[in-house]
Amino acid sequence: MRADAKRNYDRIVEVAREVFREQGYDASLDEVAKRAGVGPGTLYRHFPKRENLLDAIMQSWVDRVTEASEKALAYEGADRELLLRWFEEYVALISLHKGGPAKITSAMGDPTSPILTKCQVLTSANDRVIERLREDGVLRDGVDTVQVCRLVGGIATVADQGDLGAAAVRPLLEIVADGLLR
């Protein structure tokens, strides 16, 4: 990659992160290009689809994810509380941008999604928490990771779309947690 290309690439990602946080995932890409001081052509060459840009933005995000799951697993307390803490982290992680919960949760079931690999990091982080509970023998029978992601992702999605705060989300997570534990 040529030096000027890399400069533009980095700058676009940086600006896009800012713009998406401000305006959500459907912000204008020409706007991103303009703010980054490049032509739309340049942006679309580096990132042919909107998703490719999102993918690039998420590089730093994957680190956070693993970190969060490790933090949750390190918790020395009741299983229910461990699960709830993880759920809250999970919701926070996918809600960093407006529209994130819907985007990420639906990408999980779509093998062609460009952000699939990023989502898999999340699913496997979730899996570690779920496995731990299964080993403790406190998990409902027949539950799999994907189902948990869908349930929590669903809550995060409605919270995102309805501008609900953590206080409104917590009881919903508790209901799901209690449904998952035996």
Q: Could you say which of 13, 82, 102, 130 contacts a copy of itself (CB under 8 A)?
A: 102
- Helix (H) / strand (E) element for 125: namely helix 116-135
140 touching a copy of itself, by CB under 8 A: yes
161 makes contact, choosing from a copy of itself, DNA, none, with CB < 5 to 8 Å by partner type, with: a copy of itself
Range 7-14 contact pairs with CB under 8 angstroms and sequence separation of 24 or more: 8/36, 8/38, 8/42, 8/46, 9/46, 11/36, 11/37, 11/38, 12/36, 12/38, 12/42, 12/43, 12/46, 12/47, 12/53, 13/53, 13/56, 13/57
Does residue number 82 form part of the binding site for a copy of itself (CB under 8 A)? no
Q: How many residues bind DNA (CB under 7 A)?
A: 26
Is residue 48 at the binding interface for DNA, with CB under 7 A as the rule? yes
Sign of CA dihedral 82, 98, 100, 162: positive
| Residue closer to DNA (CB basis): 29 or 143 | 29
Taking the complex as a whole, the smallest distance from the CB of residue 58 to a copy of itself amounts, in Å, to: 19
Write down the residue that tokens 């600006």 correspond to. 15
| Cβ nearer to a copy of itself, comparing 77 with 142 | 142
Interface residues with a copy of itself (CB under 8 A) are 102, 105-106, 108-110, 140, 142-143, 147, 150-151, 153-159, 161-164, 171-172, 174-180
